[in-house]
Amino acid sequence: MEIRPLPDSSRVLNPDLKRKIISAELASALIRSGDQVGMSGITGSGYPKPVPMQLAHTIAEATFRADVPFQVSVFAGASTGPELDGALAMPGGIPLRLPYQSDPETRKRINAGELEYMDIHLSHVTQFVEYGFLGTLDVR
């Protein structure tokens, strides 16, 4: 795995938080097939981009090598974009997505029955997760 330098973290002033910053490659390596992953999201500015893009590469490579799907369920704050939903849906990497999505590739797979989707209101997701209705959230 190629380890690239971390982006400038000078805007993070808290030393405890600064120590937690890792590369997208290392972060995506912590996510296992079958995990339920929580990601931020609300339009193009509020969702992660490098980690899902790296995870999409991991999914595609692992699925190709083992001929077994590598998949993660995605719970996001709201709409995201192609660097998250599209990138992960393209290699068939999402079995379940909620609560809201606006990506064309994800929509195509939902409509084809290849991806389960729960269109619940954003305000209900936290309670569903906390009460265990959706299983455990493995990665936040």
Q: How far apart are the first and last CA of the chain?
A: 23
DSSP state of 114: S
Tokens standing for residue 122:
């954003």
Phi, psi of 97 (to 5 degrees): -135, 135
pLDDT at 7: 62
Confidence of residue 9 (pLDDT cuts 50, 70, 90): confident
pLDDT of residue 87: 93
pLDDT in tens, 32-90: 999 999 988 777 777 889 999 999 999 998 888 888 889 999 998 778 889 999 999 99
Q: Which fold has domain 22-130?
A: Glutaconate Coenzyme A-transferase (3.40.1080)
Domain ranges in the chain are 22-130
The two tokens of residue 129 are 């997760």
What is residue 106's predicted lDDT score, i.e. its pLDDT? 92
Helical H runs in the chain? 15-18, 24-29, 50-66, 87-89, 104-111, 122-130
pLDDT at 1: 47
Q: How confident is the model at residue 97 (pLDDT cuts 50, 70, 90)?
A: very high
How many CA atoms does the CB half-sphere of 100 hold within 13 Å? 14
What average pLDDT does the chain have? 87
